[in-house]
Amino acid sequence: MSDFSEMYAPTEEHEAFRAAVREVCDAKVAPRAAETDELAEFPKASYEALRAADFHAPHIPEAYDGVGADALATVIVIEEVARACASSSLIPAVNKLASLPWLISASEELKQRYLPPIARGDAMASYCLSEPEAGSDAVSMKTRAVRDGDEYVLNGVKRWITNAGVSDYYTVFAVTDPDARSRGISAFVVEKNDPGVSFGAPEKKLGIKGSPTCEVYLDNVRIPTDRMIGEPGTGFATAMKTLDHTRVTIAAQALGIAQGALDYATGYVKERKQFGKAIAEFQGLQFMLADMGMKLEAARQLTYAAAAKSERGDADLTYFGAAAKCFASDVAMEITTDAVQLLGGYGYTKDYPVERMMRDAKITQIYEGTNQVQRIVMARQLLTRG
């Protein structure tokens, strides 16, 4: 029998949190989602709405001016924002991704300096791991950090950086010992205004268009040694530990996108009439809806279980984080595709939101580790158990 202390069902407090997020999103985020996608611009108004309600970085502990939301509450925030606008959901998701390495490994002085501005909404943060030649193979990164007295000098290029150019702080992973492979990588906080930091043009993407994705260029960027996150050579371990937790937030984003598509499609089929009756009465479409709902709920339960493991720091979080991210994102792609099908020709047009949701869902199968990589992670965990 499972110990009841390992239950992960949302509490009344969690559900009240959900209701509060949904109210903000329905009123101030969802109405701007189509425009955000069309203009491909960072959704400043949505950010301000989330910031005003303290939903922009809910994971930051109260000790650093944050809300102190637990992992499941943070998942619920991201899920609800993604239901309204996937681009906007990357605000709380990436603030967590970039700042979690600080919470895991940084000195208290570094935490006190950088976490409160994120918590207050005075700044955002981005996570700089991937490079042009180092995506899934992050250990092959070329960015270098060379010690020079009481400074490090950083040179390199980071690619696929979410909210680059908008964020004020960047968690940058760089090689400090080229001969030590993964043990030669260290992590640093780089500021947007540090001399030598610049950004490429925003990528022209299939989806999440309101979240800028740019290259970050580091050209002889000098930063003080006290901006290293943790000890030299621990950066890669910190990066991987971070992803164990934040893959759960990508699962949450996938849940929200899928829920938004299912909600819209369900409403549509009850209103749309063909052959003299609502198309919801046709068994073929009912079976589609049943499968969509069933798979979404299975994904939600797996994601919430993984969130509970993230909160507790369970030993099997690596497996559950990978499983939740992989399953939920595959389900989101399937559900959004089926939602387009349920709307027929209308689903294929920008007059209806499901085509946007379908495009937005695709990235959840790719970033923070492709689903092929997630399956490698899960298989290794299974093969090394016991």
Active site positions, annotated: 368
Non-local CB neighbours of 170 within 8 Å, separated by 6+ positions: 98, 125, 126, 127, 128, 161, 164, 189, 190, 191, 192, 197, 216
In terms of Cβ atoms closer than 10 Å to its own Cβ (0-12, 13-18, 19+), residue 179 is exposed
For tokens 């792609």, the residue is 333
Residues 10, 72: Cα–Cα separation, whole Å:
7
Q: What is the CA radius of gyration of the chain?
A: 21
Residue 271 sits at φ, ψ, to 5 deg, of -100, -35
Q: Where are the beta strands (DSSP E) in the chain?
A: 125-128, 144-148, 151-162, 169-175, 185-191, 197-199, 213-224, 228-229, 273-274, 277-278
Q: Is 40 helix (H, G, I), strand (E, B) or coil?
A: coil
Q: Is 169 helix (H, G, I), strand (E, B) or coil?
A: strand
Residues 164, 205: Cα–Cα separation, whole Å:
14
Non-local CB neighbours of 95 within 8 Å, separated by 6+ positions: 56, 57, 59, 118, 124, 125
Non-local CB neighbours of 367 within 8 Å, separated by 6+ positions: 160, 162, 250
**Cβ–Cβ under 8 Å, residues 61 and 100:** no
**Cβ–Cβ under 8 Å, residues 99 and 115:** yes
* Distance spanning both ends of the chain, measured CA to CA: 19
